[in-house]
Chains A and B, each alone.
Chain A
Amino acid sequence: MATWDWQVFCKNTIDGEVVPRCFGSGGDITYLDWMLSAWGWTLSVALLALLVALGVGSLMGILRTTPSKGLVALGNAWTELFRNIPLLVQIFLWYHVLPALLPALKSVPPFILVVLGLGFFTSARIAEQVKAGIESLPRGQRYAGLALGLTLPQTYRYVLLPRAFRVVIPPLTSESMNIIKNSSVAFAVSIAELTQFAMQAQEETSRGIEIYLAVTGLYFVSAFLINRIAHFIEQRVQVPGMIGGGK
């Protein structure tokens, strides 16, 4: 096998010349610049999609535990729809199909479409976790809330959700790490994120191993960062005396 050539990252992306100090200047960029910007895109797609997924997923998960049959059916249908179509196909639906059917979407940047696609896909998984979290609470909690005269929304807000969300932090952490990994699928609709960078830079430079190693490393770092942040949140919100809480 060929020897290492880490200098590839210092090369100008246009003429392939090695740039001193590795960062491009005056409008020229090196592969390192490109990769860091791709990392930014990966993180932006993943974090925004995570916000969408947490919002929509929590809502759908909550709906699935309400006494209303209609709302439960809505939540179930949502979950099944977004869980049973491959992510890549969903991304294609958002990128190729929806703008063709709804002309209003034509002016929406692809970045937003991918964020929505990835967010809705993940929302189905989060809905599943949130539902399981709420159902893991003793039934009496809900009755106690209602018996005290709280309305159903109040019961959720003050009794069920504060406990349920703490229960589901660990599975939500792994979903958050998954979303970083799944954001790689955005390569297929030309978002300039890490995987897209890896494929193109590999083509251009033929230094696939160095490029892939660096990109894989950045995915590791990103997932690890999310893991630490989630761990920090878990520590901050834990209730002493609960299992998985105060040790």
Chain B
Amino acid sequence: MNLDFAFLTWETLVGFVAKGLVFSIQLTLVAMIGGIVLGTVLALMRLSGKKWLELPAAAYVNLLRSVPLVMVILWFFLLIPLLTGRPMGAELSAIITFTVFEAAYYSEIMRAGIQSVPRGQVHAGYAMGMTYAQTMQLVVLPQAFRNMLPVLLTQTIILFQDTSLVYAIGAYDLLKGFEVAGKNFNRPVETYLVAAVVYFVICFSLSMLVRRLQKKIAIIR
């Protein structure tokens, strides 16, 4: 079979793919920021030493980590309209799902990060007269973030790859953009190939950047 990429002009890309790329990036960024914030709260709950905070956080994290992401996407797409009483677009549903889902993974990373900070730092914070919140905010979390930055970013690259799974509910993401273009020009083989190359280039360059960052951090520490 002959491959023909001639249809992939700038107009095609802008017309079909750009919208999907924007959504994929938007979804990744919102889920990353929301996931890290929620994940940090969950991590603090799990490390609080209070059973009534620990147990719900542990249940949340373990539950979401043991269900396939596709099923979580389907669950939310089914449940959100039932709970709110009105239909919700696939895109918005995906954003909520990914934020909730990724929080479980980010929380495990943050937990490891917080645990990697020497205990003496906490005692030092208290000895300075800081409250728990101040100690966490000013002493522990900045160090934990710094230690965990490469892992957090790697998780974000995985998150970006996983956004392609919104296929299950038909949201218009990068992959969908290529797919629609492929159907339109009856060139599905070429568009899937190009989609793979685009994902590879994005993810590979990001992981190279993370690797450089990791080396930098490792030297300073």
A residues lining the B interface (CB < 8 Å) = 1, 80-81, 83-90, 92-93, 96-97, 100-101, 103, 177, 180-185, 187-188, 195, 198-199, 202, 208-209, 212, 215-216, 219-220, 223
Complex alpha-carbon distance, A208 and B81, angstroms: 12
Residues of A within 8 A of B69 (CB): 181, 184
A86-B164 in contact given A81-B200, A202-B78 (Cβ < 8 Å): yes
- Among A1, A83, A85, A202, chain B packs the most CB atoms within 10 A around the CB of A85
Partner pick for B74 among A80, A100, A212, CB 8 A cutoff: A212
- Check B195 against A89 for contact (C-beta < 8 Å): yes
User: From residue A184, how far is it (CB to closest CB) to chain B in Å?
Assistant: 4
User: From residue A218, how far is it (CB to closest CB) to chain B in Å?
Assistant: 10
A84-B199 in contact given A187-B168, A212-B74 (Cβ < 8 Å): yes
Residues of B within 8 A of A1 (CB): 82
- List 15 interface pairs A-B (beta carbons < 8 Å), by A numbering: A80-B207, A89-B199, A96-B192, A100-B189, A101-B3, A101-B189, A184-B71, A188-B167, A199-B74, A208-B78, A212-B71, A219-B66, A219-B67, A219-B71, A220-B67
- Check A199 against B168 for contact (C-beta < 8 Å): yes
Secondary structure call for the B interface: helix
- Check B168 against A97 for contact (C-beta < 8 Å): no
- Check B66 against A223 for contact (C-beta < 8 Å): yes
- Check B164 against A88 for contact (C-beta < 8 Å): yes
- Check B192 against A198 for contact (C-beta < 8 Å): no
Partner pick for B203 among A84, A103, A182, CB 8 A cutoff: A84
Complex alpha-carbon distance, A185 and B78, angstroms: 18
The 5 closest A-B pairs by CB, nearest first: A86-B161, A184-B68, A84-B203, A181-B68, A86-B164
Residues of B within 8 A of A103 (CB): 1
Complex alpha-carbon distance, A103 and B164, angstroms: 28
User: From residue B72, how far is it (CB to closest CB) to chain A in Å?
Assistant: 9
- Check A220 against B204 for contact (C-beta < 8 Å): no
Complex alpha-carbon distance, A177 and B66, angstroms: 8
Residues of A within 8 A of B193 (CB): 93, 97
B37 within 8 A of A: no
Residues of A within 8 A of B60 (CB): none
B70 within 8 A of A: yes
A88-B165 in contact given A182-B68, A215-B71 (Cβ < 8 Å): yes
B residues lining the A interface (CB < 8 Å) = 1, 3, 66-71, 74-75, 78-79, 82, 161-162, 164-165, 167-168, 175, 188-189, 192-193, 195-196, 199-200, 203-204, 207
User: From residue B118, how far is it (CB to closest CB) to chain A in Å?
Assistant: 22
Complex alpha-carbon distance, A184 and B204, angstroms: 25
Residues of A within 8 A of B164 (CB): 86, 88-89
Complex alpha-carbon distance, A230 and B78, angstroms: 34
User: From residue B207, how far is it (CB to closest CB) to chain A in Å?
Assistant: 7
Residues of A within 8 A of B189 (CB): 96-97, 100-101
Q: Which residue of A lies closest to B204 (CB)?
A: A84
- Check B167 against A97 for contact (C-beta < 8 Å): no
Complex alpha-carbon distance, A177 and B1, angstroms: 38
Residues of B within 8 A of A177 (CB): 66
Complex alpha-carbon distance, A182 and B158, angstroms: 13
Q: Which residue of A lies closest to B179 (CB)?
A: A92
Q: Which residue of B lies closest to A195 (CB)?
A: B70
Partner pick for B200 among A84, A181, A182, CB 8 A cutoff: A84
